[in-house]
Structure 1
Amino acid sequence: MQGSLNGIVVLDLSRALAGPHCAQMLGDLGAHVIKVEHPDGDESRGWGPPFVGPDHDISTYFLAANRNKQSIVLDLKSAEGRALAERLVRQSDVLVENFRTGVLDRLGFPVERLHELNPRLVILSITGFGHDGPEGGRPGYDQIAQGEGGLMWLTGPSPDEPYRVGASIADLLAGIHGAYGVVAALYERERTGRGKVVRTSLLAAMVGVHSYHGTAWTVGGVVPGAAGNHHASIAPYGAFRCADGMIQIAAANEGQWRKVAELLGIDPGDPRYATNRDRFRHREELISDMEKALASGGRGHWLAALAELGVPAGAIRSIDEVYSWDQVRSQGLIVTADHPVLGPVELPGPPLRFEDAPAGHTPTGAATGYVAPPMLDQDRDAVLAWLADRESRT
């Protein structure tokens, strides 16, 4: 496989979602990713439904985070497993782990030992709440981090009904942050010749997306809360009912607002709606006035009219609609890989495209082909042969 990270070897000791998602991103860019699994396998192999395959034992959850990897089983509690892990560490550029704080140390692989084995190794450690601090040792799962990190407070119909984000956003964002931290550390290694430790956490991922909600408090002294399907600072910006369902309209500047107002027969000069500050102050009245007008037509009518005016608007699509949408497919957001049991499968694709990649084609900075998520220990022989060959060259 070719890509921007061609030649980089990633030893993926992680499991579940945050670490595997990070390693998958690196694999999408061409890195050689070796997934080390416990003899029982990554626990996400058992997460479902849905399960697929002839025996209904293949987790679609696992398939989401483990393409472009080889699987080998190692028992890191055994002398044999640790010895093989040491050999792999010596030949790797990156190690990804998301054990609880101190677990890797107890297994015999503290940072000092890893860098003794391989001074050029970049080590990514993803924890729940950080590796240190008064609560650094806490175990972390996505929904717990969403709550502790304030995101649930900002999500839902009102502050009285906090909701989790539908996707495992803490895990996924921690994986994304980890991936860009790894790339930065690899770039720095080109200058220094030495690897370093990169740390992130589910908590950091949640606080890191507060953005203007954070400064509302840290600078403005205001505690923001959940606002349902409407923006916390801009009006009108949200989901609105029309004759046959809901559409979303985002009028983020005065020009867009005037177009929306004229389309819906609302006076843009009404003192309640003259500026964004006024509209936000009278947001419930504004939503009511807009929905009264929108009730006269269906989604197709209003989306076409708003598109003609150049006002950002859109439907609310179900997952199956998203994956059948021509625009999604044109952006390379669905990739096909040949699974050893399932045959050809479609997987959610990488979010990056590079400048010279035509629409609908594999981005040239990414790998030129995609390998399906492996069965447990599927690649033991291939990994051991690769390892022996590497060692014979050094």
Structure 2
Amino acid sequence: MPDTTVAPENTGPLKGLRVLDLTRVLAGPTCTQMLGDLGAEVIKIERPEAGDDTRGFAPPFVPNTRESAYFVGVNRNKKSVTVDIASPEGQAVIMKLLESCDILAENFKVGALAKYGLGYEQLSKKFPRLIYCSITGFGQTGPYAPRPGYDALIQAMGGIMSLTGEPNGSPQKSGVPVADLFAGLYGCIGILSALNHRHATGQGQQIDIGMLDTHVAWLANQGSNFLSTGENPPRLGNQHPNIAPYQEFPSKDGYLILAVGNDPTFERFCKNFGQEHLLADERFATNPKRVENRQLVTDTLTPLMKSKTTAEWIVALEALKIACGPINTLKDVFSDPHVIARNMVLEMDHASGARVKVTANPVKLSATPPSYRSAAPVLGQHNAEVLQGILGMSEAEVSALKEKGII
């Protein structure tokens, strides 16, 4: 696989496509950053003076800049243009940009853009090839469609919080905003599918992404467990609902994850660490029985796991091809030799003159890898480039828009 590189050259498979980005915060920007990494030209429309909400989600700021770490993390490979879309002049700018755009991505409340003449039904008549991706909390239809969507709210309503946390503790959300992230990634998948359809037929379409829908979709085995039994799965802390032992254990100096995925692996574990007698006990002999007796399994193995340090266990278990790993802090993650070898951290030149660190795109393409052309922009950084270079406005016309507060 090619190394991850930061260079102005565009090597992505979506090179030549132009995206009008009317998204903000996280779900939408995650989608459009992926498109940008894959080579699309992304023009991010922001509110004059204020910009994307996440520009104010700080501290922390990126060192030696006035930019929030939050904003910088999901807005690389984008051009920032400030436009007041509530004004007729601003709407005219957007309409002119759409003449050369392939994709519009937005995460406004349902019906909000239609007030400005920028709804899908309005634009599809004039731009039939346009792919229009709408990311909202609850989708374009249904009783909850008008409601605003927030990550924690969706995690609560989507069921994941009922599954997360200690058995006797309170429901817990994930430590990262997974509802936003999944919605953005599903949005990107929808856009790529629509591009293939347009390639075959010449027709654009709307992609309706509801955060609650995507959340329900990724309930995975837990959702399937419920649909098969009608029983709400309990919170199990770090234990697996269908496999045992598959959880964290205390070691002599900390914790580690032990993931015994099948019966042969459990047999190998027992025979190598003095627990062969457990194999004759029907409560331990098969995975279904271990799941049924998970507390007994935990209580039985805990004293053994405390007999070695985390590092000692990892060496011993890896030699036997038994899955295990430390519970890393983020400092540990970003200094991990494998993460480093996989080029998962980038340093990019920022318009402020500083160098900014960001996580890389994890999609490793052998022929057309993601490209990293520009760090997240400062607000309005590309006004002149886009308005003059793409739309052909004169410097005087751009200045007049600025004086009126349109850009």
Q: Determine the structure 2 residue equivalent to 1:383.
A: 386
Offset of residue 52 of structure 1: 3.3
Q: Does residue 275 of structure 1 match 2:286?
A: yes
Mapped contact 1:53–1:341 kept (Cα < 8 A): no
Q: Determine the structure 2 residue equivalent to 1:98.
A: 107
Q: Determine the structure 2 residue equivalent to 1:82.
A: 91
Aligned partner of 2:269 among 260, 263, 275: 260
Offset from partner CA, 1:173-207 (integer Å, 9 cap, x none): 00000001000000100111011001112101210
Offset of residue 53 of structure 1: 4.5
Q: Does residue 374 of structure 1 match 2:374?
A: no
| SS of residue paired to 1:165 | coil
Is there any run of 5+ residues in structure 2 with no aligned partner, and where?
A: 1-9, 394-407
In structure 1, C-alpha distance between the alignment counterparts of 2:243 and 2:63, rounded to whole Å = 47
Alignment of structure 1 residues 192-231 onto 2, 5 Å: 192-231=201-240
Mapped contact 1:7–1:32 kept (Cα < 8 A): yes
Q: Determine the structure 2 residue equivalent to 1:359.
A: none
Q: Determine the structure 1 residue equivalent to 2:311.
A: 300
In structure 1, C-alpha distance between the alignment counterparts of 2:107 and 2:164, rounded to whole Å = 27
Segment drifting more, 259-268 vs 23-32: 259-268
Higher relative contact order (CA 8 A, sep 6+): 2
Mapped contact 2:62–2:356 kept (Cα < 8 A): no
| SS of residue paired to 1:240 | strand
Offset of residue 159 of structure 1: 6.5
Offset of residue 379 of structure 1: 0.6
In structure 1, C-alpha distance between the alignment counterparts of 2:35 and 2:143, rounded to whole Å = 32
The alignment covers a number of residue pairs equal to 381
In structure 1, C-alpha distance between the alignment counterparts of 2:273 and 2:301, rounded to whole Å = 7
User: Structure 2 counterpart of 1:212, which letter?
Assistant: N
| SS of residue paired to 1:268 | helix
Mapped contact 1:126–1:178 kept (Cα < 8 A): yes
User: Structure 1 counterpart of 2:198, which letter?
Assistant: R
Give 4+ residue runs of structure 1 displaced > 3 Å after superposition.
none
| SS of residue paired to 2:149 | coil
Q: Determine the structure 1 residue equivalent to 2:17.
A: 8
Structure 2 length normalisation: TM-score?
A: 0.91
Offset from partner CA, 1:13-53 (integer Å, 9 cap, x none): 00000000100000010000000001110001000221234
Q: Does residue 165 of structure 1 match 2:174?
A: yes
Alignment of structure 1 residues 87-126 onto 2, 5 Å: 87-126=96-135
Is there any run of 5+ residues in structure 1 with no aligned partner, and where?
A: 357-363
Structure 1 length normalisation: TM-score?
A: 0.94
| SS of residue paired to 1:58 | coil
Mapped contact 1:231–1:237 kept (Cα < 8 A): yes
Alignment of structure 1 residues 16-95 onto 2, 5 Å: 16-39=25-48, 40-54=50-64, 57-95=66-104
Offset of residue 348 of structure 1: 0.6
Q: Determine the structure 1 residue equivalent to 2:145.
A: 136
In structure 2, C-alpha distance between the alignment counterparts of 1:160 and 1:261, rounded to whole Å = 32
Offset of residue 386 of structure 1: 3.2
